[in-house]
Structure 1
Amino acid sequence: MEAFFLALLTAFIWGFVPFLEKLGLSSVEPSTAYVVRCTGVVLGAIITICLYNPLPSIGKMGFKPIFFLVLAGILAGFVAQLVFYRALKTGEISRIIPVTSCYPLFTFVLGWIFLGEQITPSKLVGILLILGGILLLK
Structure 2
Amino acid sequence: MEKWKLLAIISMVFAGLTSVIAKAGLKNVSGDTGLAVRTTFVFLFVWSNIFIFKATKDFAYLRPKDILLLGISALTTSLSWIFYYRAMKIGEVSKVALIDKASIVITLLLSALFLNEQITWKTITGGSLIVIGLLVLTTK
**Number of paired residues?**
137
Amino acid at match of 2:40: T
- Evaluate the alpha carbon distance shift between residue 50 and residue 115 of structure 1 in structure 2; reply closer, same or farther with a 3 A threshold: closer
- My pick for the range that moved more, 105-114 or 14-23, is 105-114
1:28 is displaced (CA, Å) by: 0.4
The whole-number CA distance in structure 2 between the counterparts of 1:34 and 1:17 is 12
Amino acid at match of 1:105: V
Amino acid at match of 2:67: I
- Listed as ranges, the matches of 1:79-118 within 5 Å are 79-118=79-118
Computed over aligned residues only, the root mean square deviation of the Cα atoms, in angstroms, reads 1.5
The whole-number CA distance in structure 2 between the counterparts of 1:128 and 1:73 is 28
The TM-score with structure 2 as length reference comes to 0.89
The whole-number CA distance in structure 1 between the counterparts of 2:82 and 2:62 is 29
- Listed as ranges, the matches of 1:4-83 within 5 Å are 4-76=5-77, 78-83=78-83
- Evaluate the alpha carbon distance shift between residue 63 and residue 20 of structure 1 in structure 2; reply closer, same or farther with a 3 A threshold: same
- My pick for the range that moved more, 110-119 or 127-136, is 110-119
- Evaluate the alpha carbon distance shift between residue 7 and residue 60 of structure 1 in structure 2; reply closer, same or farther with a 3 A threshold: closer
- Name the counterpart of 2:128: 128
Amino acid at match of 2:82: L
Structure 2: give runs of 5+ residues left out of the alignment.
none
- Per-residue displacement from partner, 1:26-71 (whole Å, max 9, x unpaired)? 1101111111112211221331232133333213311111111122
Instruction: Tell me which stretches of 4 or more aligned residues in structure 1 moved more than 4 Å.
Output: none
The TM-score with structure 1 as length reference comes to 0.90
Q: What fraction of aligned residue pairs are identical, expressed as a percent?
A: 28
Structure 1: give runs of 5+ residues left out of the alignment.
none
SS in structure 1 of the partner of residue 119 of structure 2: coil
- Name the counterpart of 1:119: 119
